[in-house]
Structure 1
């Protein structure tokens, strides 16, 4: 499903007079956080991006703009304060010895020049010398951290969230480039070596040729193929993929005596580690720009795909002096090349229906290869976007893509029109159920199908959503399984332009029944119903679609002369997963209900505030329900209205009641042993505390009933200041706020506001 957003300007007001965020800004902030976290998870954990680089970057920039306008909204789990994805449940989680940071991205040469000049000025001020710039290619691969002890590879892990990644040691051991034992001598007792795993362009082409020859579908692009290869459960399967690796850094390095990045590369080569041939140590900005221009022209002549250039301060002492933000190092930057563009023919514009009824047009194009992958579809967001782009069905269009999966149509090539092109007309009735379409409310651009309860596609989308990672996380219930449960197979797609259309009803007619399936699974009637479920699958020949389809059983195996039809392994797994899903925390249940605007951020806030579904429903019945809900930190008026509206619908309440009756736990366990010493207090933690990480301090505050804020204001109760506290401490002192050191913070946690303020005496001196 596509998403739309609006650009916002950045206020130039000083911090003291920044406006309190309006409900619309607060709600937009929550939406942005949820979307960006969802897109990161899809990219880093699932190897299946949901948004283009350009689309993601626009969302991320909008989030930074909102945080600049309203710093009081910033929390420690904001995407601007965190790195990458999180460890997948499919592999064991392991902690890195030293954090793996992301890189700050810039998207124009002007931004890059400004960044380099600022860094250069900072270095000259501290050291009196201009820095040397190690400049190298940004490999389009998967970041991996290798841990060697006494020269022996003992662990390999993905980056994950920067602190914790996935243990992929056995799979990495199959990569020939990576030595199991370091060569030579002089390596530390324990060292983390970091780099990118990728599939070389030539190897990727040969791999796809073999896939097609074997009658299998080719891979979409090298990056996702490499990431997927490293996440194979069987290392023997990983070993079949032509994976390579180039190392580009060191994490934990105690005992390593190299003084620069380039010297470290030479050391890594002596140890037998694979290093990139594409790097130079440069003296000036002009040389960096020449490097960028050269590889921009030759990016398709290289060993591997790239998506930009990385520039690092070469000297380690200077790197340490510049330091890091909470998310990125101040001594390195990634310049991303502009998206690539190609021409292709727009064959059709069709629409799909989302779980909230939103009807979204999308483009169907002649397949074209761009940025390393073959593209044949692109989102068009809504009818106004189609009109604004001026595209006609049959046009040759400009397609823009930057090494990702979801591309963008820029516009038509008007000079190539023949006169046979024609306008797209947005349907007036739902393509799934035939209900007349309309905006949800006056002034909305998007149109929706109002038949939420009975529309076959909306039901399928909601069931797929409730099973997703943000909901109940039911691994065996993907979109195709959801469609198979909720709808009949429909007409032959070959007679409808290859479109697989539902034809309800299915085994279940409401998401209310989803958990009753697990209870009823032994029932012969249910098993008979599941055995009769079929889906359309395209017949393929040599890895390519033939345009012909056949009906195949979905939940059961196909009967043969020797073997009867039985439940598939996936079906057996589905019912085990349904049982496990019933004990998920309350916030996941709230996400799974498909309440408009209610994503993980708002759901966590509601679960923290109320603790049980019954408490939320009770709050909704009070006279001041809207005000009470809107005042929950992270909720706001728009979400409050959405909750009230959703829970006022009878068939929605039937879903909640049915899930509860089936055994879904709708209450979070509360640790009564932790005293609520900080009830009603707002606390800001700034600087470095020896015994608390940022997340640990935030958790300690929240579990004791307080609010952990990211900005200082007159409403702040206490500021906890550690080493390098900076401007937040200055502002706290200017406002006359109570400032605590770590010892005072510990007493505050234990005793509450009766803390001795003598612990603040020496701060700020």
Structure 2
């Protein structure tokens, strides 16, 4: 075992090798001698949690949080004392070996001493799985670890490759969640939280209650209509559950509930007192310029991992900057100095220097990340990256018209108009100009010959030896190309690894250009002529 990392954002995680080495059922060496990536889940047994809470001065709240905290703890000996276990469930990458199915993958992992869950069933008929899923739901209370559902997967790995992924999830797997545990408690108060877009979301403050191993004190409601529909009032008893055993949710009030205090719809922003606007089912504060929670929310989004990736920047830090330093716009982050920061509570010189170094590092950023960081309405990370790939520069995106935006497959009328309106706003344009003047330099990630693969569609098949599949895909995207999961008449190139599948036959039938790994890598030293 040479490295271990958290899942992070799906691409970049935190190194936790020393912590993972303390997990007793994970082998440090295996018989297989090639390079491979194994994906798994660290967990704490409920019996271990019970034993630890007998001796710890501050009891652990629940097994899920205890396991996550142990793996992130900087002291591996503390991780060791938590006595974690692991289940492995997937091989993300493997060299010098081809696996064709989930069954082969499991057999390979067992041969190499990797720990697997016994909850596993194969079937050619989807409906045959459901009785076993329901049986698992009934049996889960007898287990020594927590589960909240089962995952149904396509067994054939080649079919998985063809189905591919959305921006967040594999198309070849679906999570079947068990019914969440429910309990009743009393609503003590309702507050309205203001987000970075100005939307007001009602937050219910509850009489503390234990649910699924956690103490629940708050639960969100969607909007004012949700409050009315669920008959929620101050002092009412309500049913709550943890959706997917994580997020507390109010289901509704107890029947024959005695209403104490009806919740009034707010007319002014609870933070800045601006008059509230009603847009569809939601309430909004229109004061984007000086409403402090909106400013703090925009700062947090700008600094987030998928955006500008500014380390050491938390929501509390954003609130502190807004309250104490009077920061009201994103460009002011790049005007901070050590002297300004060290005067703040809990900001020593080292912490200030680390944050400033991270802010300075963010000046050189990917265009897609920068567009996402700006918080364009209706534009998520995937769309931001698509804009970067299609236009290639910030100036081109800012000057784009509706017709050119609608030519992009993932963009429709609503998103196109959001982009046009956003960059037409004089205040927003001034802030973007200020960021550029502060040295922020968003660039479309390109290869050594920028854009030389623009518009070219690649399909990958087989096992690559010199680089990973993800690295190959990033090279293609960085040079302006695209990747697809299946071969069609629109495919330009088929990248061949060892033991290619049926995609090779289809590519040959269609006369598509084939590249081995060496020829593919050579493209990035000379470009395509």
Shorter-chain TM-score category?
0.7 to 0.9
Instruction: Pick from 214, 222, 225 the counterpart of residue 63 of structure 2.
Output: 222
Instruction: Tell me the equivalent position of 1:296.
Output: 137
- Give, in whole Å, the separation in 1 of the partners of 2:219 and 2:133: 29
Instruction: Pick from 274, 278, 282 the counterpart of residue 439 of structure 1.
Output: 278
CA contact (8 A) 2:137 2:178 kept: yes
Decide which moves more: 349-358 or 376-385.
376-385
- Give, in whole Å, the separation in 2 of the partners of 1:633 and 1:698: 19
Instruction: Tell me the equivalent position of 1:359.
Output: 200
CA contact (8 A) 1:196 1:247 kept: yes
Instruction: Tell me the equivalent position of 2:43.
Output: 198
Deviations 1:538-589 (A, max 9, x none): xxxxxxxxxxxxxxx243xxxxxxxxxxx25333321121111111222222
Larger radius of gyration: 1
Distance 1:199 1:671, change over 3 A: closer
- Give, in whole Å, the separation in 2 of the partners of 1:162 and 1:616: 26
Deviations 1:407-427 (A, max 9, x none): 222211113x2x343332220
Structure 2 unmatched ranges of 5 or more = none
Instruction: Tell me the equivalent position of 1:573.
Output: 354
Instruction: Tell me the equivalent position of 2:334.
Output: 515
**Structural mapping, 1:12-161, within 5 Å:** 147=1, 156=4
- Give, in whole Å, the separation in 2 of the partners of 1:661 and 1:162: 32
CA drift at 1:380? 1.1
Instruction: Tell me the equivalent position of 2:254.
Output: 413
Instruction: Tell me the equivalent position of 1:590.
Output: 371
CA contact (8 A) 1:605 1:633 kept: no
RMSD across aligned positions (CA): 4.6
CA contact (8 A) 2:461 2:501 kept: yes
CA drift at 1:723? 3.6
Does 1:467 pair with 2:303?
yes
- Give, in whole Å, the separation in 2 of the partners of 1:165 and 1:513: 29
- Give, in whole Å, the separation in 2 of the partners of 1:460 and 1:320: 47
CA contact (8 A) 2:98 2:463 kept: no
**Structural mapping, 1:647-658, within 5 Å:** 647-658=423-434
CA drift at 1:515? 0.5
CA drift at 1:641? 2.2
CA drift at 1:354? 0.7
CA drift at 1:651? 2.7
Distance 1:355 1:287, change over 3 A: closer
CA contact (8 A) 1:195 1:245 kept: yes
Does 1:236 pair with 2:77?
yes
Structure 1 unmatched ranges of 5 or more = 1-146, 148-153, 314-318, 489-505, 534-552, 556-566, 756-765
CA drift at 1:222? 1.8
Distance 1:701 1:662, change over 3 A: closer
CA contact (8 A) 1:191 1:254 kept: no
CA contact (8 A) 1:155 1:169 kept: yes
Deviations 1:62-103 (A, max 9, x none): xxxxxxxxxxxxxxxxxxxxxxxxxxxxxxxxxxxxxxxxxx
- Give, in whole Å, the separation in 1 of the partners of 2:76 and 2:217: 33
CA contact (8 A) 1:371 1:403 kept: no
**Structural mapping, 1:204-603, within 5 Å:** 204-207=49-52, 213-214=57-58, 219-246=60-87, 292-293=133-134, 295-309=136-150, 324-325=160-161, 326=163, 335-415=176-256, 417=257, 419-439=258-278, 444-488=280-324, 506-517=325-336, 520-522=337-339, 526=340, 531=343, 533=344, 553-555=345-347, 567=348, 569-603=350-384
CA drift at 1:636? 3.8
**Structural mapping, 1:627-666, within 5 Å:** 627-666=403-442
Instruction: Tell me the equivalent position of 2:502.
Output: 724
CA contact (8 A) 2:338 2:352 kept: no
CA drift at 1:208? 5.0
- Give, in whole Å, the separation in 1 of the partners of 2:24 and 2:392: 51
Q: Secondary structure at the match of 2:282?
A: coil
Does 1:742 pair with 2:518?
no
Instruction: Tell me the equivalent position of 2:387.
Output: 606
- Give, in whole Å, the separation in 2 of the partners of 1:672 and 1:265: 39
Instruction: Tell me the equivalent position of 1:170.
Output: 18
- Give, in whole Å, the separation in 2 of the partners of 1:707 and 1:687: 15
- Give, in whole Å, the separation in 1 of the partners of 2:220 and 2:25: 39
Distance 1:481 1:235, change over 3 A: same
CA drift at 1:671? 4.4
- Give, in whole Å, the separation in 2 of the partners of 1:634 and 1:282: 36
Instruction: Tell me the equivalent position of 1:113.
Output: none
- Normalised by the size of structure 2, how large is the TM-score? 0.77
Distance 1:348 1:200, change over 3 A: same
CA drift at 1:482? 0.3
Distance 1:234 1:398, change over 3 A: same
CA drift at 1:430? 0.4
Distance 1:260 1:650, change over 3 A: closer
- Normalised by the size of structure 1, how large is the TM-score? 0.56
